Every structure is written in C-alpha cells, then in structure tokens.
Chains A and B, each alone.
Chain A
Amino acid sequence: MIELWNSLPVVMQILLKITAILVPLLLLVAYYTYAERKVIGYIQIRIGPNRVGWRGWLQPIADALKLLFKEVVIPSKADKALYLMAPVITIGPAMAAWAVIPFDAGLVLSDINAGLLYVLALTSLGVYGIIIAGWASNSKYALLGAMRSAAQIVAYEIAMGFALVGVLVAAGSLNLGAIVEAQAGSVFTWFWLPLLPLFGVYLISGVAETNRAPFDVAEGESEIVAGFHVEYSGMAFAVFFLAEYANMILISALNALLFMGGWLSPLPQSWVAGVPLLDDGFHWFALKTGFFMFLFLWLRATFPRYRYDQIMRLGWKVFIPITIVWILVVALAVVYRLPPWWSA
C-alpha cells in the first residue's frame, strides 16, 4: 500500500490529499445544515425536518438536488460576469484555507511556517464575494447588504488579527502545528486560560466574520430582505450557503487549534499516554471543533440580531482596546516567563 502511494507522482498525491479533505468537508457542510435545523428546532420546541429519509436524514441531499435543478436567474441590469463570479470568489478562500489546518500531529496538507497568517489572509478575502455580489446584482437591498458587510468585516478583522497576534506572541510561532504543541500539558496550559480575553474576542469576531446571527446584518432578512444574495437563486445561492457553513467549520476548527489545544488531550500526558481514546488524537480535535460548531447554532437560536451601530461600537470601542491591552499583558508574561505557561 505504501509502495503504491510512493509510486504515484507528487501532483497526484497532493490531489488525492486535497480530495481526502474536501469530500468529508462538503459532507460535513451538508449535514451541518441539517444539524442546524434540528438543533434550532429543538431549542424552539419544534421537531425540525423529519420527512425525507429516516428522521429527515436525507433532507440535505434533497435540498441540494432541488437547488441544482433550479434556474439561476440573472437580473437584467446586473454585471453578468461579476454576478456569476461572486459565489466562486466566496467559496474559493473558504476551501483553500483548509490547506494548513492540522488534524492531528503532523497530519496536515501543507505544513508552512506562516500558517496562521495564511488563514487570516484567506478569510479576509471572503468579503469580496459578498461585496461583489451586492454590487453586481444592481439591487438596492443587495448593495445595502454589501455595504454593511464591508464595514463590519473591516472592523472585526482588526480585532481578530490582534487576537491572533496574542496567540503568536504566546506560542512564538505562526505554524498551526507548533501553536498546538506550545499548549501541551493539560487543559490548564491551553491558551484559553492565559489568553482568556483574546479567546472571547476571537470567538465573537469569528461569528461576526462569518456573518452569522446575531451579527448577520449583511443578510438581515427582516430589514433588507436577504441582503447581498437577494437576487441569487438555484446553485449560485447554494454556493454562498456552502461557503458560509464551510467558514463556520473553519472558524470552529481554528478556535479549537489556537485556544483549546487542538488534538491534545485535556488530561496530562503522563496519565493518558498510550490509553486509547484518552490519549491525544484526532478525536479530541473533532470533539472541540464540534463543540464550537454547536455554539454557532446555539448563539443563532438564542440572541436577537445586533443593531448596526451597536455592532460598530462593540468592534471598535470594546474589542480593539481589549486586544491591545491584552497583547501587552501577554508580551510581559512571556518576557518574564510567567509559570506555568512560559516557565520553560
């Protein structure tokens, strides 16, 4: 088996690895939409989809087929090329960012030493899809959604970037694998504790960055119909949807990697080394990512939408000052080797 693998050309190996990441990711996206409808259903004391397949398990497949066969309507005065390009621009970065996400020790497609920066750069590109979609639709609601999204993302990206600077200072590396290794120990040496304010800022900025409730003013269905994607139909709309959910999973995975120790076990290594299921491994990473994915749904079911000016206030006047102060605190803690995190 390994001989067969090694005999393949390098390009072929990389393509196979990409498939091995993207196919489960897209399946996960499909069933994340199902989970969302079920979880929010139960939170609101409804049942959720339960007609297609056993307990509604085939609902995402039915939805995908329905959207595939629907017509993609292009508004008569739309900028046709940009209108069709916008969904592609949205989903491209959402998929490409997975190239540097480590799933287990050493299990990563591309182990580059600027991984964190790469993820941040790619997630900042996602906003172009929204802005271009809003502008190219030639519709006032779509344009309003695009404007809101642009202002919101610029504000929250600064807070997000600063939160990640804190992680960089604490770990001393931009490689996502090395960042996880720097948290080794137990649940109390993970970065969520020493970087608690940054963790909070990153978690909330992540919700804002993916345009999810309560920060979904770009969509705002009760105010501006559906915001940037009001004119989109069929598969073009579905691609926006896919990108949004892929981004949510990505942010959840990043939360798990940067602050919750990725694939590390919450128990000290000396207790669990070699014990199946308790030892470090992919399942811990999946569990933590799953928790944050659930959090996204929980937040959506719980909070009403933020008002636009309050979003701006929270981003600029609360989050950015918090991150700046805490970066200084972390820098001092690292320089003076505050135990137990930086005593070595």
Chain B
Amino acid sequence: MGFEKFLFYVFAAITVLAAGMVVTRRNPVHAVLYLVLAFFSSAALWLLLEAEFLGLVLVLVYVGAVMVLFLFVLMMLDIDLATLRAGFIRYLPLGVVIAVVMAVQILLVVGPGNFGAEQFPTPAAAAADVSNIEEVGLLLYTDYVYPFELAAVILLVGIIAAIRLTLRRRPGTKYLDPTQQIQVRKGPDRVRLVSQVSTAGLREEQGARDVAQSQEDGSA
C-alpha cells in the first residue's frame, strides 16, 4: 500500500466518521463542528485527486465562510432538545419509510452500475505544471458558460428573495445611520478639532525649570 493510498484511507475514514457524528450529535454546535471536519477532510481527498483548486476553494468558501455563518446562527438560537425529541417515536415509522425510499433512489442513481470503478478508467496523472485554475476557468467560461451564468442568476434571485423576506421597516424605532454620521464636517457641525501642544515639550520645559529652580535654591 503506497503512502498516497494510506492518506486516502485516513482522510476517507475521518470524513465518514465525521459525517456520522453530524447526524448523531445531540448538541447542534458539535454537529456543525463535525460537519466542518467532514468538509476539511473531503478537501484533503480532493487534494489527493490533484484538484487543488477545488480542495482549497472548499475550505475557503464552505469552511471559512458558510459554516461560520451556520455557527453564528446556531449559537444565537435557544434550541430546546426536549421538544425536538418529543415527537420522535410518533414520527419514527413515517421517517423510516421515507429514509428507505430515499436510500433506494440514491442507490439506483449512484450505484455501481452508473458510478462503479469499472465505469471510469483511471485518468492519466496530469503533468506537475498543469494549472487547475486555468483548466476550470477555461471550461467554465467556454463550454459551460450558459449553465454557469444561469447558476449565477439563480443565486442572485435567492439573495434578493432573502433580503426582501427579512427587510421590514419599523418607522417608530430609533436607529443610527452610519452613512449619515460620517457626513459630519468639522466647521459647521458638532465636531471641533482642538490642536493640542505635545506634552513632551512641556515636560522638558518643566524639567529645565526644575533644574534652574534647584540651582537657584543651591546658590541662595
């Protein structure tokens, strides 16, 4: 077993283990942190595939930004685990049926018939100087330019919908408007700049005066 294979099994095991922990942990913050671990080890798997751009972007986008926002929201929620578990037995049969149906569907699509190792011959390793980013960029902006643009538009629609849903104006509330605050100018408005004499100079003067004083006292 080569070193690369060893690394693959280590990271694959961590990924599977972490993914299992995500769905079994009671504490939602722990679950999210395990999800971070799962993302991180899948990024390592992608690095082993020589897809360094995708691997690093996975860390950058999902671990560095998306999961931070997840944590942000989760830490502010007061999740009562008792009410979450209250309906567990009641909904268990229906839940099991749905889970089995989904598992069968997934197996039909991604089973060995479609995605088995024999369907995909091992690609030749690319030369060391081949840039991932160039390849991905060329494909995205030539062959896949329309799907790419479509995905961007769908994301834009999502952003606008989210903003529209959460935006509510409450005319009675007092709030600060930073854009207006920074408009304050120093002449006519409430800001006044006071030029302050450096105390360093003052202290030296004081010291000189003290010395002169003591000399006077000595001579007197």
Contact = CB atoms under 8 A, between A and B. Distances in A.
Q: Which of B68, B75, B176 has the most CB of A within 10 A?
A: B68
Contacts of A132: 33
Interface size class of B (residues with CB under 8 A): 20 to 34
Interface string B29-42: 10001001000000
A328 to B, nearest CB: 15
B173 to A, nearest CB: 14
A114 B29 contact: no
A332 interface: no
A113 B129 contact: yes
Contacts of B36: 128
B68 A313 contact: no
A150 B131 contact: no
B14 interface: no
Interface string A118-151: 1011101101100110010000000100110011
A189 to B, nearest CB: 24
A334 interface: no
A128 to B, nearest CB: 7
A321 to B, nearest CB: 13
A249 B38 CA distance: 30
A121 B71 contact: no
Contact of A309 (B33, B56, B60, B178): B178
A137 to B, nearest CB: 12
Given A45-B200, A313-B178, A147 B56 contact: no
A205 B29 CA distance: 28
Given A117-B53, A151-B72, A124 B133 contact: no
Contact of B199 (A45, A114, A135): A45
Contacts of B132: 114
B56 A121 contact: yes
Contacts of B198: 45
A157 interface: yes
Nearest to B199: A45
B56 A127 contact: no
Given A117-B56, A124-B59, A174 B64 contact: no
Contacts of A45: 198-200, 203
Interface of A is mostly: helix
A174 B75 contact: no
A131 B63 contact: no
B140 interface: no
Interface string B171-214: 00000101101100000000000000011100100000000000
Interface string B54-81: 0011011001110011011001100000
B72 A124 contact: no
Nearest to A113: B131
Interface in B95-146: 129, 131-133
B44 to A, nearest CB: 12
A143 B131 CA distance: 42
A33 B90 CA distance: 60
B68 A150 contact: yes
A: contact size bracket: 20 to 34
Nearest to B128: A113
Interface in A65-102: 82
B3 to A, nearest CB: 11
Contacts of A112: 52
A272 interface: no
A131 B68 contact: yes
B214 to A, nearest CB: 23
B200 A114 contact: no
A153 interface: yes
A222 interface: no
B57 A117 contact: yes
Contacts of A151: 72
Contacts of B72: 131, 147, 150-151
B27 to A, nearest CB: 8
Contact of A114 (B63, B75, B133): B133
Given A113-B131, A114-B133, A174-B133, A153 B56 contact: no
Contact of A121 (B60, B69, B179): B60
A174 B52 CA distance: 12
Interface of A: 45, 82, 112-114, 117-118, 120-122, 124-125, 127-128, 131-132, 135, 143, 146-147, 150-151, 153-154, 157-158, 161, 174, 307, 309-310, 313, 317
Given A45-B203, A158-B65, 8 more contacts: A114-B56, A114-B132, A117-B56, A117-B57, A124-B63, A131-B71, A131-B72, A150-B72
5 contacts: A125-B63, A128-B68, A147-B76, A153-B68, A174-B131
